[in-house]
Amino acid sequence: MKNITKRALGIILSAAIVIAGGTWQYSVNVKAAQTDADFVMQMQAAGFPDSYIDSLAAVHAKHPAWQFEAVNTGLEWSTVIEKESRNGWNLVPKSSDDARKSTASGAYDWYTNTWTVYDGSSWVGANSDYIAYCMDPRNFLDETNLFQFERLSYSSTQTIEGVQAILAGTFMENEVEDADGTTLNYAEAFVQIGQETGVSPYHLASRVRQEQGLKGTSSLISGTYKGYEGYYNYFNVGASGVTSTLVIQNGLAYAKNAGWDTRYKALLGGAKLLAKNYISVGQDTLYFQKFNVVNHAALYSHQYMSNVTAAITEGKKLGEGYTDKKQAFVFRIPVYNNMPESAVTFTATGNPNNYLKSLEVTGYTLTPSFDGATEKYSIVVEGSVDSISIAASAVASTSSVTGTGKTALKTGTNTFEIICTSQSGNAKTYTLTVVRQELEVGEVTSSVYKIGSKYITGLKPGVKASDFLGKISAEGATLKVVDASGKEKTGKLATGNKLQVYDSKNELVKSYEIVIYGDANGDGDINVLDMIKVNRHILGLGKLSGCYLTAADANRDNAGVNVLDMIFINRHALGLTTIKQD
C-alpha cells in the first residue's frame, strides 16, 4: 500500500482489520469524498491496488453512497488460477465458443475434437485463461457488473417491487397454487424468506432464476417426477451427475430427504442452506459463492455453482432488481497477491484444434506412423520418382490445411511443411522429409506417365512417339520406341509397343512395354475390335496375355477380364465415357 498522507488520514473516521478464516479485510469508513483525490486516498487506505481505483472512482462519481471494501485474500494470483482450473471445477456450456473451453489433458481430446462432459449432458471444462478473466475483479468494476460483489445480507431497503423486477418475464412473475393448496406469490415469498434467513431476497430471486431459467420447466420443480411426486428443489441442491437423469434424481432425492414437499418449503430450505453454508462463513457475495477464496476451511472446494460465469450473470440480474440505486450498497471486492499489472483480457474466439487427422503420401508409408501429436515424418523414394502426392485432413472441420497436393522432388533431401491452422488462428506445422535417392544409369522418370517395373501406363489413345519421348527421361541413357517386332515407331503408339533404354555404349539396358487400357488388340485405338478380343478371351477362344491382358482390364478393378470390361470399351467407343489412363 502506498503511504497515506496526513490529509488522507484526516478524513478517516474509523478503521478496522477483520480476520476471518485466513482472509483479512481492511474496512475504512469515511466521510463522503469531497474530491477525486480524496476518494483515491480512501481507496488506497482501504487496501485497493491502484489498478482498481480508476474504475471505482468512475462508479463513485455516479453513486457516491456506494461503499467499497477490499477483501485481501492473502492468496497468490497464479495459485488461485491453477487451483480453479482443475478439470471439471469451472464449467461452460457445450454451446459456448470453443475458445472458452478447456483443452487440458482429460478435459479435451485433440484427436477427436471432443470435450469431456462433467455435469448433466452439456457442461464442459472452462479454459484457464477464461477462468482468469472471469475471476479478475477489475473486469467488472462498473455499475452494471459490480453487483456480483454486493454483500448478500438482508436489508430493509430491499423491496417487493425490486424482487418483482427480477422475476419479470419469468415463470415466477405470476402466482401459483402450492402443493398444500395455498397460493404462492413468489415475490412476497422471497421477501418473507429473506427476512427470516437474513439473506437478500434479491439474491434469492436471482439465484432461482439462474438455476431454473425463464420458463421453469425443470423436473426438479414440477412436482410430478416419477418416484418423487410432490417434491421440489428450486436451488438445485445436490443436483449433480454425469447425465440429466442423474442430476434430476439426485436433486429430488435431496428434496425428499429434506422434506421439501411444497414449493415454499423448497424455497425456504434452499435459502437456509445458503445462509448457513455460505453467507455465515464469509462467502456472502455471488463472487465468493462461485470462487471460494475466503473460506479457508474449504478453500477452492466449497463453491455453490460450477458455471464459471454464474456470478457475472446473476450479479447483473441482482442489480436490475434495484429500482433505487441511491442506497448505500456495500461491495466486498477481492484482492490477490501479485496480480497482473492490468486486468486480464480474453478475446480468443473459435475452435483451437490444429491437429491433423491424417497425413499420407500416396504409395508410401510414413516413418514414424502417423499420429496427430507427432510433427516430423520422413520417407525415402527411388531416384526414378520425381514427384509425390501429399494428402492431409484436419481433425476439426473448422481448421484449414496447406502444403498438400502433387509436388516435384529434387535428388537428395526435400523438406515440405504441411500446416494445420485452427479456427482460432493457432498453427501446427508438420514437417515431411523426403529423400530422393540418386538415379541409376538408365533409370527412367516421367512427370506424366507411370513407370512400373514392366509396364508404362498413363498414355491416352493417339499419343505419338515424339510427344511421348518428350515427357520421358533416363539418367545417362538414350531412349527409343519400337513396335512388337522391334521396328522403331514414329507415329501413334499402341499397347505392346516398347520403350527401350540404351547406355552410353549403345547397349540395351532396360525395356518397358506400353499399356493403353482398352486397347486389347494393340492397334492404338479403342473400338469394337477390342471388344471382340475381350469376348474371345472370356469365351476361351483366344487367350490374352502379358501387356494385352493388362490392357483388356478396361475398368481397372483388378477382378480379371470380364463382361464389365467389354461394356467399358463399348461405352468409350460410342463416346459415352472415357476410359481413364492415369
The domain ranges of the chain are: 1-88+127-151+285-308+321-347, 356-436, 444-514
CA distance 385 to 194: 82
The pLDDT of residue 573 is: 93
Q: Look at residue 367 and give its three-state secondary structure.
A: strand
Return all residues near 142 (Cβ < 8 A) that are at least 6 apart. Answer: 55, 58, 59
**Which segments of the chain have a pLDDT < 70?**
1-35
Q: Look at residue 341 and give its three-state secondary structure.
A: coil
Q: Measured at the alpha carbon of residue 517, what is the angle toward residues 576 and 472, in degrees to the nearest 5? A: 120
Residue by residue, DSSP assigns 111-158 as: TTTEE-EEETTTEEEBPHHHHHHHH-GGGG-STTTGGGGB--B--TT-
With beta carbons less than 8 A apart as the criterion, state whether 393 and 357 touch: yes
With beta carbons less than 8 A apart as the criterion, state whether 516 and 487 touch: no
Residue by residue, DSSP assigns 19-48 as: EETTEEEEEEEEPPPSSHHHHHHHHHHHT-
Return all residues near 531 (Cβ < 8 A) that are at least 6 apart. Answer: 566, 569, 570, 573
Return all residues near 181 (Cβ < 8 A) that are at least 6 apart. Answer: none
CA distance 259 to 268: 11
With beta carbons less than 8 A apart as the criterion, state whether 535 and 542 touch: no
The pTM (predicted TM-score) of the whole model is 0.66
| CB half-sphere exposure, 13, CA atoms < 13 A | 5
**Grid coordinates belonging to 310:** 454464474
CA distance 25 to 72: 6
CATH of domain 356-436: 2.60.40
| CB half-sphere exposure, 497, CA atoms < 13 A | 27
**Grid coordinates belonging to 299:** 478453500
525-547 per-residue burial string, b: 16 or more CB within 10 A, e: under 16? bbbebbbbbbeebbeeeeebeeb
Q: Look at residue 214 and give its three-state secondary structure.
A: coil
Q: Cα Rg for the chain, rounded, in angstroms?
A: 39
Under the phi-then-psi rule, with left for phi > 0, alpha for psi from -120 to 50, and beta for the rest, what region is 575? Answer: left
CA distance 321 to 561: 83
CA distance 149 to 85: 21
CA distance 256 to 263: 12
Beta strands per DSSP E along 296-399: 330-337, 356-361, 376-381, 387-394
Q: Measured at the alpha carbon of residue 429, what is the angle toward residues 428 and 435, in degrees to the nearest 5? A: 160
123: nearest Cα among 399, 395, 309, 346: 309
CA–CA distances in Å: residue 444 to residues 379, 491, 512: 20, 21, 10
With beta carbons less than 8 A apart as the criterion, state whether 144 and 316 touch: yes
Sign of the Cα pseudo-torsion (362, 364, 367, 368, in order):
positive
Reported residue count of the chain is 582
With beta carbons less than 8 A apart as the criterion, state whether 488 and 482 touch: yes
CA distance 178 to 174: 12
Return all residues near 223 (Cβ < 8 A) that are at least 6 apart. Answer: 179, 229, 230, 231, 232, 263
Q: Measured at the alpha carbon of residue 189, what is the angle toward residues 267 and 240, in degrees to the nearest 5? A: 15
H or E, element range at 406 = strand 405-408
For residue 524, how many other CB atoms are within 10 A of its CB? Answer: 21
The pLDDT of residue 33 is: 46
H or E, element range at 436 = strand 427-436
With beta carbons less than 8 A apart as the criterion, state whether 59 and 143 touch: yes
**φ/ψ of residue 375, rounded to 5:** -110, -10
